[in-house]
Structure 1
Amino acid sequence: MPAFMNLRDIGLFLHSARTDARIERLRPTIGSAAALEAIYAADSDPWSAASARYRYQHRKYEVLISLLPPRRFARALDLGCGLGLLSRHLASRTDNVVGIDVAPSAVARARVLHADQQNLLFEAQDLLSLPSAFDGSFDLVVVADVLYYLSPLDDALLKALAMRIAALLAPDGMCMLANHYFFRLDPESRRSRRIHDAFSWSPGFVLQSEHRRPFFLTTLLQRAGGMPAAASPERRPA
């Protein structure tokens, strides 16, 4: 068992799996965005990310921050911020952090939890329809454990998302991509591998580094110079 886990963290994984299963049951009838809102409306912490009972998620956020290059960022965007826990960690390395989530209930909760943090701003936004005002305005974009909640997550959508996210970055900006990664051949790990490969191979990015930790995969990417213009990802039925 990894040093930053304990036996209680097994309960965290089981609880998270039950939440994901509820989303899968809801998604066919109401769509991905509405399913996530329903989950947050029913449970203030649906993945137990803020629970003091578990140490894994907190330690994971610390590791993610440690993987960033040794510089201070001016403006960061946390896509799919949920309760804003990773956003708060980013705030220690960033002058201003914007956390967005498609679930208004998550955003409302994040605002309450982090009201004391002056350089944090939370907004309800859909990453499939981000405003053009965001373009080129961030020197760090973090996409952690969110893209696999989009459906259908096919290659065309992944390629469009990679280009759209690259367009959010300033010329010297960086993207941090993090996803669950367990045993390489299990379905969840294969899906994470597809996501990271799509971003790493995108003409909008230059791969900087890749890191495997128990139980997640992290990729750091730099915005490519002379990047072609990106169109917004096409919205399709969830």
Structure 2
Amino acid sequence: MSETHSDEPHGAGLGQKLNWLRAGVLGANDGIVSVASLVVGVAGATTDNSALLVAGVAGLVGGAISMALGEYVSVSSQRDTERALIEKERDELRTMPAEELDELTELYRQRGLSEDTARQVAVELTEHDALAAHLEVELGIDQDDLVNPWHAAISSAIAFTIGALLPLLAILLPPVEWRVPVTFVAVLIALAATGTISARIGGASPVRASLRLVVGGALALVATWLIGTLLGSTGVV
């Protein structure tokens, strides 16, 4: 009896899901680190709530817009490249179908099929949908599942905002003497969580991914706090 594994990623839409998941995790991580570094740096220089609030909100808004714009431009470039490759393949199929059939046969032969079997598979797939067959085998592209720049941009902006709210609240809500320690702890826990999520999406080691983010985030927080403390003690701010 065959068994269906419903938790395995199959079918159309996988590329889109991975696209916005990737953008979301990266956006949350950037929101946590950048805004936490900003407010911790300001907290090292001053205890004024207004200064912390202005710095945190400015970092949140500016960062969210920047992340969204960056993702939109990056993913748009990727989609434009994919569309260009699709048009090129479509033109080749129209102008030299025999050569393309031979190419598809050879690609399947390189995957371990015998010459006769590879030829039969290539012929049958060409008769069914030649363009889809060539895009999948040659380029790894699904023309019905191209990346969407708007999905990536919106996901990244929302995730950045959510991630940025954590250090902003952590620095504003506790008593003055607990602000920096609470923010450190909250940020490092959040970074460990996003590292685990990103590792599971990419099939990597959660421990290694989390450790990289935690160490990097801790270094950023320490550096900005020291700079803020130094500037505050010298009377620059």
TM class by shorter chain equals: under 0.3
TM-score by length of 1: 0.22
**Higher share of residues assigned helix:** 2
Higher relative contact order (CA 8 A, sep 6+): 2
Q: Using structure 2 for the length normalisation, give the TM-score.
A: 0.22
